[in-house]
A and B are shown apart, each in its own frame.
Chain A
Amino acid sequence: MNNFLAALTLGAGYNSALVAIGATCLGVAAGVGGTFLFLRKRALVSDAVAHSTLPGVGLAFIIMVMLGGEGRSLAGLLLGSAASAFVGLLAVSWITERTRLAEDAAIGAVLSVFFGVGVVLLTVIQTMSSGRQAGLESFLLGSTAGMLFSDAVVIAVGGAATALATVLMRRPMTIVAFDPDYARSIGIDVPRIDLLMMALVMAVTVIGLKIVGLILIVAMLIIPPVAARFWTDRSSNVIWIAGLIGGSSGFVGSAISASAPALPTGPIVVLVCAAIFFVSLLAAPDRGVLAAVLRHRAFQRRVHRRQGLLALSRGEPIHDVMTLRVLSGEGLIRADGVATETGRSAAARAARDERRWDVARSLYQDTSLPGRYDGLTAIDTVLTRDEIAAIDREIGGPAALDIKGAS
Chain B
Amino acid sequence: MGAEFVTLSLTPILIGVFAAIACALPGNFLILRRQALIGDAISHVVLPGIVVAFLVTGTTASLAMMVGAAVAAVVAVVLIEAIKRLGRIEPGAAMGVTFTSLFAGGVLLLEQTDTSAVHLDVQHALMGNLESLIWFSGEGWGSLLDPVALADLPVELPRMAVVCALVIVFTIVLWRPLAITTFDEGFARTLGMPVNLIGFTLVVMAAIAAVAAFDAVGSIIVIAMFICPPAAARLMTNRLSHQVLWSAAFAALSAVLGYVAAGYGPIWLGGDYAVSAAGMIAAVSGIVLGLAVLFGPHRARVGEAVGEG
Instruction: List chain A positions with a Cβ less than 8 A from chain B.
Output: 38, 41-44, 46-47, 94-95, 98-102, 104-109, 111-120, 122-124, 127, 137, 140-141, 215-216, 218-219, 222-223, 225-226, 229-230, 262-264, 266-268, 270-271, 273-274, 277, 281, 287, 289, 292
Report the Cα distance A140→B112, complex, angstroms: 18
Main secondary structure of the interface of B (DSSP, over half): helix
Q: Which residue of B lies closest to A124 (CB)?
A: B275
B contact residues vs A (CB 8 Å cutoff): 31, 34-37, 39-40, 44, 83, 86-90, 92-97, 100-101, 103-105, 107-108, 111-112, 122-123, 126-127, 220-221, 223-224, 226-228, 231, 234-235, 262, 266, 271-276, 278-283, 285-286, 289, 293, 296, 298-302
Contacts A99-B299, A100-B299 known; A112 to B100 CB distance under 8 Å? no
**Are B103 and A215 touching (Cβ within 8 A)?**
yes
- Please name all residues of chain A whose beta carbon is closer than 8 Å to the beta carbon of B234 when the two chains form the complex: 100-101, 105
A-B pairs, top 4 by smallest CB distance, nearest first, are A116-B282, A113-B286, A119-B279, A219-B100
Q: Is the CB of B100 within 8 A of A270?
A: yes
B101→A219 contact, CB < 8 A: yes
Q: Do the beta carbons of A270 and B92 come within 8 Å of each other?
A: no
Known: A116-B286, A223-B100. A109 touches B108 (CB 8 A): no
The verdict on A226 contacting B89 (CB below 8 Å), with A105-B31, A127-B273, A263-B111 known, is yes
Residue of B with least CB distance to A229: B89
> A399 → chain B, closest Cβ, in Å?
50
Rounded to whole angstroms, the CA-CA distance of A50 and B35 in the bound complex is 20
Q: Determine chain A's interface SS by DSSP, over half rule.
A: helix
Q: A105 CA to B35 CA in the complex, in Å?
A: 8
* Complex interface: chain A residues within 8 A of B94 (CB): 226
Residues of chain A contacted by B103 (CB below 8 angstroms):
215-216
Which residues of chain A have C-beta atoms less than 8 A from B105's C-beta?
267, 271
Cα A123 to Cα B279 in complex, Å, equals 9
> How far is it, in angstroms, between the C-alpha of A222 and the C-alpha of B93 when the chains are bound?
6
Query: Which of A104, A112, A266 lies in contact with B220, CB distance below 8 A?
Result: A112
Roughly how many angstroms separate A46 CA and B279 CA in the complex, as a whole number? 21
Tell me the bound Cα distance from A379 to B92 in angstroms: 44
Interchain CA distance A116-B259 in the complex, whole Å: 13
Determine how close the nearest CB of chain A comes to the CB of B192; give it in whole angstroms: 29
Which residues on B sit within 8 Å (CB–CB) of A118?
Answer: 279
| B276 and A47 within 8 A (CB) | no
Q: Which of B39, B86, B126, B275 has the most CB of A within 10 A?
A: B275
Give every chain B residue within 8 A of A122 (Cβ-Cβ). 276, 279
Residues of A within 8 A of B227 (CB): 105, 108-109, 112
Are B89 and A105 touching (Cβ within 8 A)?
Answer: no
Q: Taking A102-B34, A226-B97, A274-B97 as contacts, is the C-beta distance between A120 and B280 under 8 angstroms?
A: yes
Contacts of B31 in A (CB 8 A): 101-102, 105
Is A41's CB under 8 angstroms from B279's CB? no
With A116-B278, A219-B101, A289-B86 in contact, do A105 and B93 touch (Cβ < 8 Å)? no
Bound together, the chains give a CA A37 to CA B10 distance in angstroms of 45
B101 to chain A: which residues have CB within 8 Å? 219, 223, 270-271, 273-274, 277
Task: Please tell me if the beta carbons of A101 and B235 are within 8 angstroms of each other in the complex.
Answer: yes
6 chain-A/chain-B pairs, Cβ below 8 angstroms: A99-B235, A100-B300, A109-B286, A114-B286, A267-B105, A274-B104
Q: Which of B126, B127, B275, B293 is within 8 Å of A98, CB to CB?
A: B293
Residues of B within 8 A of A270 (CB): 100-101, 104
Q: How far is the CB of A85 from chain B (nearest CB, A)?
A: 16
Residues in B whose Cβ lies below 8 Å from that of A105: 31, 36, 227, 231, 234
- Asked if residues A262 and B278 are in contact (CB atoms below 8 Å), the reply is no
- B108 touches which one: A38, A107, A123, A268 (CB < 8 A)? A268
Which residue, A101, A109, A141, A223, has most C-beta atoms of chain B within 10 A? A109
